[in-house]
């Protein structure tokens, strides 16, 4: 998916060995909790070589790299605040 449809954010999840081993279902839980499943896309990416922060995610188009432990703050700051402005 190269373009952003309807200003959708895209979460890229690292699919490397360390990230796979530590990855939980936190992203899916947040998307359900805030009803964002239809407003964002999730894509897998090859190892990002940021294993010390595993599991690693990247938010596009904001070009933000972060660890899964920061996901709640990222969703609130970059997704929910943007959605509230659009409503």
Q: Where do the H-state alpha helices sit in the chain?
A: 17-22, 26-33, 71-74, 81-86
Average pLDDT over residues 37-63: 93
Q: Is the pLDDT of residue 3 over 80?
A: no
Residues 5-21: tens digit of each pLDDT? 557 899 999 999 988 88
Instruction: Name the pairing type of β-strands 40-45 and 9-14.
Output: parallel
Domain coordinates of the chain in residue numbers?
A: 14-86
Residue 58 φ/ψ, nearest 5 degrees? -130, 130
> What element of type H or E holds 64?
strand 64-67
Report the percent of the chain where pLDDT is more than 90: 64
pTM to 2 decimal places:
0.82
């Amino acid at each position: 998916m190269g373009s952003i449809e309807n200003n959708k954010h895209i979460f890229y999840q690292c699919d490397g060995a360390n990230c796979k081993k530590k990855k939980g279902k936190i992203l899916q839980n947040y998307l359900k909790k805030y009803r964002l499943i239809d407003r964002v896309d999730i894509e897998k990416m090859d190892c990002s070589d940021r294993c010390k922060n595993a599991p690693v995610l990247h938010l596009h188009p904001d070009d933000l790299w972060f660890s899964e432990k920061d996901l709640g703050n990222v969703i609130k700051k970059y997704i929910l605040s943007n959605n509230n402005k659009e409503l």
